[in-house]
């Protein structure tokens, strides 16, 4: 099977779904780029991270829409196009820019179906690059998936590898509900085996990345490869872990997490979103409610501190949870009173 990057896997998914279903359109800032430029090159960008490359030359300007810098209008237009029967894939260049278009996401898109009494479908996908690790500072580095997971009516997807990214994006496009699709910037170059044909990865089904007996580790996005490194290092000492990648936070595969904790009795949750009202505390609450008596040790949350994402590399390195912190947390979970 070919090894490709997560960037290329996402690009493949978009190409295949646009070819497969003519209702699929793509819109966003610089998704092609070059419009109104002086070079005569129409596709000058292909997306700032290259995810939408080749779509405009292949599918044309009717279906690949370069927009002005207008996030509210991008998301609102995607919503309207979806209500009118298209299947738009909107791109918000950086997840932080959700701040500009929050109304369209959480008052409009998320609520249509419910408040219209089930009479509407809004099959929109909103892709956005997220995450720290590239020194882009407080307004270009946030992991805001907890914020949007909290909104009823939205499905929230956070792939950690190329295979899942492709299958989840195709699922997101085919899904009739609105989907927020987070892509971690630092994972775009991460390679993995990806079949050339189209396939879907279902929502609400976690991936058991590692199987072990001592500790359950739950991790998302970039925290998954970091957790793999920590877990593989500890395996040499005989400490083995289940590593669960939920892949979607809404719906969340609670069963896989509960079953694992019932076996291990120890839980470490690794989450790049802020610690307050975050994914880690949400999962901790679910486990505390459903598997309290299985727990042998307190649940450990590995998260950034309750601060914005700092710019300076010296500080950002401390902000992002890395393999050493995950390893220490697993060791702490193994300590008996």
Q: Which of 261, 319, 327, 333 binds other proteins (CB under 8 A)?
A: 319
| Window contacting other proteins (CB under 8 A); options: 1-9, 107-115, 138-146, 328-336 | 138-146
Name every residue whose Cβ is closer than 8 Å to that of residue 102 and which is 6 or more positions away in sequence.
none
Name every residue whose Cβ is closer than 8 Å to that of residue 128 and which is 6 or more positions away in sequence.
91, 92, 93, 94, 95, 97, 98, 180, 181, 182, 183
Question: Measured in whole angstroms, how far is the alpha carbon of residue 127 from the centre of its chain?
Answer: 9
| Window contacting other proteins (CB under 8 A); options: 60-68, 110-118, 221-229, 321-329 | 60-68
Name every residue whose Cβ is closer than 8 Å to that of residue 112 and which is 6 or more positions away in sequence.
79, 83, 120, 122, 153
Q: How far is the CB of 275 from other proteins (least distance, A)?
A: 12
| Window contacting other proteins (CB under 8 A); options: 31-39, 142-150, 173-181, 290-298 | 31-39
Residue 310 touches other proteins, criterion: CB under 8 A: yes
Report which of 190, 130, 128, 134 is spatially closest to residue 154, judged by C-alpha positions: 128
- Residue 16 or residue 141: which is nearer to other proteins going by CB? 141
Q: Which of 19, 115, 134, 288 binds other proteins (CB under 8 A)?
A: 134
Q: Which of 140, 166, 190, 247 binds other proteins (CB under 8 A)?
A: 140
Q: Which of 2, 57, 195, 313 binds other proteins (CB under 8 A)?
A: 313
- Residue 72 or residue 121: which is nearer to other proteins going by CB? 72
Q: How far is the CB of 218 from other proteins (least distance, A)?
A: 25
Length of the chain: 337
> Cβ distance 279 to 149 under 8 Å?
yes
Residue 72 touches other proteins, criterion: CB under 8 A: yes
Report which of 215, 226, 178 is spatially closest to residue 75, judged by C-alpha positions: 178
Helix, strand or coil, per DSSP, at residue 265: coil
Residue 35 touches other proteins, criterion: CB under 8 A: yes
Query: Which one-letter DSSP state was computed for residue 108?
Result: I
Residue 312 touches other proteins, criterion: CB under 8 A: yes
Q: How far is the CB of 99 from other proteins (least distance, A)?
A: 7
Give the other-Cβ count within 10 Å of 39's Cβ.
Answer: 7
Alpha-carbon distance of 84 to 211, in angstroms, equals 45
Query: Which one-letter DSSP state was computed for residue 77?
Result: H
Task: Give the alpha-carbon dihedral of 97, 99, 100, 101, to 10 degrees.
Answer: 100
Residue 214 annotated among the catalytic residues of the structure = no
Rg of the chain in Å (alpha carbons): 20
- Residue 63 or residue 140: which is nearer to other proteins going by CB? 140
Residue 97 touches other proteins, criterion: CB under 8 A: yes
Residue 70 touches other proteins, criterion: CB under 8 A: yes
Residue 68 touches other proteins, criterion: CB under 8 A: yes
Residue 60 touches other proteins, criterion: CB under 8 A: no
Number of residues that bind other proteins (CB under 8 A): 45
Nearest 5°: CA angle at 262, between 256 and 265? 120
Helix, strand or coil, per DSSP, at residue 252: coil
Residue 298 touches other proteins, criterion: CB under 8 A: no
Q: Which residues bind other proteins (CB under 8 A)?
A: 29-30, 33-41, 44-45, 48, 66-73, 96-97, 99-100, 134-140, 305-308, 310-315, 318-319
* Residues catalogued as catalytic: 140
């Amino acid at each position: 099977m070919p090894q490709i990057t997560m960037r290329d896997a996402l690009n493949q998914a978009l190409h295949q779904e646009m070819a497969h279903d003519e209702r699929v359109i793509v819109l966003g800032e610089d998704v092609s780029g070059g419009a109104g430029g002086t070079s005569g090159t129409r596709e000058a960008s292909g997306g700032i991270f290259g995810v939408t490359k080749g779509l405009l030359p292949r599918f044309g300007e009717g279906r690949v829409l370069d927009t002005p810098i207008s996030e509210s209008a991008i998301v609102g237009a995607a919503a309207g196009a979806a209500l009118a029967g298209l299947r738009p894939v909107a791109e918000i260049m950086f997840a932080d820019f959700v701040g500009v278009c929050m109304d369209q996401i959480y008052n409009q898109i998320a609520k249509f179906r419910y408040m219209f009494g089930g009479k509407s479908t809004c099959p929109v996908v909103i892709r956005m690059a997220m995450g720290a690790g590239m020194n882009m500072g407080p307004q270009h580095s946030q992991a805001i998936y907890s914020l949007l997971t909290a909104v009823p009516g939205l499905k929230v997807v956070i792939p950690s590898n190329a295979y899942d990214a492709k299958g989840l994006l195709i699922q997101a496009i085919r899904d009739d509900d609105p989907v927020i699709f987070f892509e971690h910037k630092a994972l775009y170059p991460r390679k993995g085996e990806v079949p050339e044909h189209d396939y879907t990865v279902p929502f609400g089904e976690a991936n058991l990345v590692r199987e072990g007996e001592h500790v359950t580790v739950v991790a998302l996005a970039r925290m998954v490869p970091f957790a793999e490194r920590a877990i593989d290092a500890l395996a040499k000492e005989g400490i083995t872990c289940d590593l669960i990648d939920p892949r979607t936070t809404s719906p969340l595969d609670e069963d896989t997490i509960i079953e694992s904790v019932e076996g291990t009795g120890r839980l470490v949750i690794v989450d790049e979103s802020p610690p307050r009202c975050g994914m880690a505390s949400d999962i901790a609450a679910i486990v505390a409610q459903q598997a309290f008596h299985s727990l042998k040790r307190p649940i450990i949350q590995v998260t950034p501190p309750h601060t914005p994402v700092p710019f300076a590399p010296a500080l950002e390195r401390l902000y992002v949870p890395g393999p050493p912190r995950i390893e220490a947390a697993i060791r702490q979970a193994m300590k008996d009173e």
